[in-house]
A and B are shown apart, each in its own frame.
Chain A
């Protein structure tokens, strides 16, 4: 097209698992094309074993990430936005290719995605105040409900919105301290795989986010059945797959967020965070300052 004198260097797209960039354990790749069918890259075709490895990595990262201060998580999510901002042009190009958008429309998607990280970065140390709180029980007890992350969450990223949609389902999961295994848009996985590169350089501990590409149904099935996965977001599943996965998820009573129509351009509410939060309620006797105040 432009410079015939220099041959460009292709990027080998890899998975992002446990803070590392492995190829698929299967050794297989699949061809990713743009909206007009032009070859863009070969993406790793993840197998059940990649899914298993990702769960192990996510579980291992859970203690540290959920135990980090909310302030620290907020700083890191904001850092993700900063790093994306610096690579804005790359994502605009990838999103334009993936979704067949004009430069300006793709740019709007990327800007919104960056802003979404900022939005969730600010939520990390506020959500507990909004959904938790003290309960005025009828007795001499201190009683406090606090939200806590559910654990390891499998996220099927939306198929159509390859970047803004992805960020919109991933950021709320990790903002509250969960760790995630994201299955990228099957057709357009490249922005998701590139996101791994940004996450790896944003102080986000390895394993907090694990990105897999490949056939959604193939990867999601073992994840939905995995006994060490606590929840699943079915955003990227069609109705038939969603039902199958929900049935499989019942085996260990995963929290399931069913697919629903979402306008990713609109500022989200807190639902995607609360979907993957547990409420823990702690009681403790208060008593009186001294025994002398009590009588019968």
Chain B
């Protein structure tokens, strides 16, 4: 599906003309019934993915991982190890696909770039005063420019949840537009911190707000709050990107992040993608997992499928 920015400009061009048009548009989106949404997500969670489908799903999931380290204690050594793991997730099996990206703080971008040089692995950097997003816009934009100039292929920004919850949608929108501009060629992932937006109606509005602002990806969470990616909020965001493409012709990616730790969980998310947005999104250009420990579980399950016996933590690398 080709993206076509002019189509958006055409179809929804007036939506962000003013604070009030933006508010009317976002509040005019269909409501979300929480029980129905969660019920649908749970029912898709009962899909049984076995044998060849499982092998396919595991490799696909590995290829979609944004292998992440976002700690105050991050060091160049830690980031290099992460990069090496992203390029060759399973040193014992070179058929294992590399992950989609490594995701680091801006000051680690250069190190990460070196670590993945020569591979398909992208470097993503969180920016805009991650994870709180509480900084002046000038600081946020400087944060983004630094990361981009250090070589980041992708920028994971956080929205200003305070502004969103206060109803200042235009402020959030303007920030996204400004960050998108600062990204240049880098792809922009917009993090909503769905756990802080609290309601599904808010998550749907934030999704559209992000896409209207030019997001290449919409992303659930920072991984730093109590509730991160869930099947229900991800399903809701998948509906949003599906509907946005139907209306504008522009395809936007989705990235659930935080709390996805097992292969079983990852496969459930892939089923959500398959049955909601469809196969056009079953590709690491359009769907990512923001995760760290998930990768090792995927690798253990992959080894199990290959050998027929259960693997253990000693047979995957700890980084």
Contact = CB atoms under 8 A, between A and B. Distances in A.
Interface of A: 140-141, 285-296
Contacts of A291: 34, 194, 197-200, 202-203, 227, 230, 232-233
B45 interface: yes
B195 interface: yes
A260 to B, nearest CB: 46
Contact of B33 (A285, A292, A295): A285
6 contacts: A141-B35, A287-B35, A291-B34, A291-B198, A291-B203, A296-B42
Contacts of A292: 194-196, 198, 226-227
A287 B198 contact: no
Interface in B144-173: none
A287 B34 contact: yes
B36 interface: yes
Contacts, number: 51
A295 B36 contact: no
Contacts of A296: 41-42, 45, 230-232, 265, 268
A295 B203 CA distance: 15
B38 interface: yes
Contacts of A288: 34
Contacts of A285: 33-36
B35 to A, nearest CB: 3
How many chain B residues sit at the interface, stated as a range, is 20 to 34
A292 B35 CA distance: 13
Interface string B205-247: 0000000000000000000001100111100000000000000
Given A285-B33, A291-B227, A293-B227, 15 more contacts: A285-B35, A285-B36, A291-B194, A291-B200, A291-B202, A292-B195, A292-B196, A292-B198, A292-B227, A294-B34, A296-B42, A296-B230, A296-B231, A296-B265, A296-B268
Contacts of B195: 292
B255 to A, nearest CB: 17
Nearest to B200: A291
Interface of B: 33-36, 38, 41-42, 45, 194-200, 202-203, 226-227, 230-233, 259, 265, 268
B22 to A, nearest CB: 22
Q: Which 4 A-B pairs have the closest CB atoms?
A: A285-B35, A287-B34, A290-B198, A292-B227
B282 to A, nearest CB: 21
B214 to A, nearest CB: 25
Nearest to B201: A291
A271 B268 CA distance: 53
Contacts of A295: 227, 230, 259
A199 B33 CA distance: 49
Given A292-B195, A292-B226, A286 B35 contact: yes
A290 B268 CA distance: 22
Contact of A140 (B35, B45, B232): B35
A27 B47 CA distance: 74
A294 B38 contact: yes
B140 to A, nearest CB: 25
Contacts of B197: 291
A140 B39 CA distance: 10
Nearest to A288: B34
A285 B32 CA distance: 12
Contacts of B33: 285, 287
Nearest to B41: A296
A290 B227 CA distance: 11
A290 B199 contact: yes
A293 B200 CA distance: 11
Contacts of B196: 292
A288 B42 CA distance: 16
Contacts of B231: 296
Given A140-B35, A285-B36, A294 B232 contact: yes
A141 B35 CA distance: 9
Nearest to B198: A290
A289 B34 CA distance: 9
B131 to A, nearest CB: 16
Nearest to B228: A295
A290 B194 CA distance: 10
B29 to A, nearest CB: 15
A130 B173 CA distance: 55
B197 to A, nearest CB: 8
